[in-house]
């Protein structure tokens, strides 16, 4: 059975400066370098790092590679703009990392749990799915995949963020 481990909590706001000051200054969490990013279709650019520079910040919350706070600007129309039904950046979410996203997807399907497969869309090499729990809390589950082999999305990369 595929394992899940908590990776990050995503918090959203319409004002990124408030989140950046709160997590960086008030709580004293270290700001991490952003992972290589992918531009969304609505960003108007193909430069993912530039597209997310002012709307996503990553903070250390324990182990810098395995436990983080992701502060992002709220994007209420993101799902519709990207052709999806679940919007991970409207109210935030918590995220698990797995070593086998396909097994997780099958487990959810077998249990009648709907999910939205976003594939690799915002962070290079992260295959992401989103779902809600029965109380409506948004959950991300992702696998770090080796993007050098586009035909096989089930290989964990050794360099995870």
Q: Write out the chain's pLDDT in tens, 161 residues.
A: 889 999 999 999 999 999 999 999 989 999 999 998 988 777 777 878 887 888 999 999 988 888 999 999 999 999 999 999 999 999 999 999 999 999 999 999 999 999 999 999 899 999 999 999 988 889 999 999 987 754 433 333 322 32
Please name the fold of domain 4-144: 2,3-Dihydroxybiphenyl 1,2-Dioxygenase; domain 1 (3.10.180)
Give the three-state DSSP class for 97.
strand
Q: Please tell me the distance from the alpha carbon of residue 131 to that of residue 38, in angstroms, as a whole number.
A: 21
What global pTM score does this model have?
A: 0.81
Q: Please tell me the distance from the alpha carbon of residue 109 to that of residue 89, in angstroms, as a whole number.
A: 24
Q: Could you tell me which of 45, 115, 39, 30 has the C-alpha nearest to residue 78?
A: 39
Q: Could you tell me which of 17, 21, 51 has the C-alpha nearest to residue 34?
A: 51
């Amino acid at each position: 059975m595929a394992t899940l481990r908590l990776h990050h909590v995503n918090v959203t706001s319409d004002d990124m400066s408030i989140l950046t000051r709160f997590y960086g200054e008030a709580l004293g969490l270290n700001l991490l370098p952003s992972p290589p990013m992918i531009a969304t279709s609505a960003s108007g650019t193909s430069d993912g790092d530039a597209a997310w520079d002012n709307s996503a910040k990553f903070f250390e919350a324990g182990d810098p590679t395995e436990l983080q706070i992701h502060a992002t600007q709220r994007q209420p129309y993101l799902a519709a703009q990207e052709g999806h039904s679940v919007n991970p950046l409207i109210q935030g979410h918590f995220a698990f990392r797995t070593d086998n996203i396909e097994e997780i997807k099958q487990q959810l399907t077998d249990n009648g749990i709907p999910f939205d497969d976003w594939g690799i869309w915002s962070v290079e090499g992260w295959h992401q799915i989103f779902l809600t729990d029965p109380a409506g809390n948004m959950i991300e589950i992702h696998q770090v995949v080796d993007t050098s082999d586009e035909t096989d999305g089930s290989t964990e990369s050794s360099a995870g963020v």
